[in-house]
Amino acid sequence: MPDASPPTRPAAAPLDRAADAVRVGGLGALLSGIVFLGTIAYTFGFLFARGLSTDMLNVPAQLLPWVHANTVAFVGLWWIYTLHFLCLLPAPRGLAVIVGEERASIRMATVAGISGAVVGMIAAQVNASTAPPLAEASVTLAPTLLPSVWLQSEIAGGLGLQLRLISDVLVALWLTLTGLTLVRTTGWRALGAVQLAVSVLVLIVYIGKPFDWVDLEPTLGFVLALVYLWIGIQLLRRRALGSDTAGV
């Protein structure tokens, strides 16, 4: 009988899955960065052109009537914000392949990154779901009842803010743990250094935002969008070059 050749497909399957994770993660990160930049442009371009301002965001008496007049546009902002997190979901898994997904710290980083995206989507939907009814109430209820509406708006806004900050911290944990490996990896050192720097910025925003010490949240969003774009490009380049993606 002729010798049976050993099966090669099962042995190659883990490498194929790793390559797919890198490709999908790269596409996800790239799209997330593009959509996140779109969110910023939508806010400061389209919504501000319709009368929204940064001062209104902390004054329900001004914000809610504007939301009532621009409900679809305002809710659309939070759906675009949700979409960028949805695109980001496969990125932590793809980056884990590069930095060594078998390590416990990288597994924790991957969970943190995915959790950050999920919490961010929940935060966006808190705002998207509570703003329309509160805006409607602000223009239909008697003036004596408006303080309770404004209070509920502040509570909903505060909940959304805290969830966004938690999301940022989880994403920062992902960026930190993977960045510590990337700074020692040829071809990835610059990205790793930027990830660590962005994590410090997230910490500053997290500490300062609730107390209004410093409002760097818009800047943080722009920087994170650029980092996601960089991660996506790097992952897609690694996939295109056919490099070993079994870990570093």
Residue spans per domain, the chain: 14-241
Helix 60-69, helix 71-88: angle, nearest 10: 90
Confidence (pLDDT) at 210:
66
> How is residue 242 written in tokens?
């056919």
Could you report the per-residue pLDDT of 1-38, keeping only the tens digit for each? 444 545 545 545 667 788 889 999 999 999 999 999 99
**Residue 67 and residue 56: Cα distance in Å, rounded?**
10
* Region 56-61 average pLDDT: 89
Confidence (pLDDT) at 248:
40
Could you report the per-residue pLDDT of 159-198, keeping only the tens digit for each? 999 999 999 999 999 999 999 999 998 889 999 999 999 9
Q: Which of 44, 34, 48 is nearest to 83 (CA)?
A: 34
CB 209 within 8 A of CB 217: yes
> How is residue 27 written in tokens?
């596409």
**Tally of CB atoms within 10 A around 167:** 22
209: confidence class by pLDDT, cuts 50, 70, 90: confident
Confidence (pLDDT) at 152:
94
**Residue 85 and residue 28: Cα distance in Å, rounded?**
9
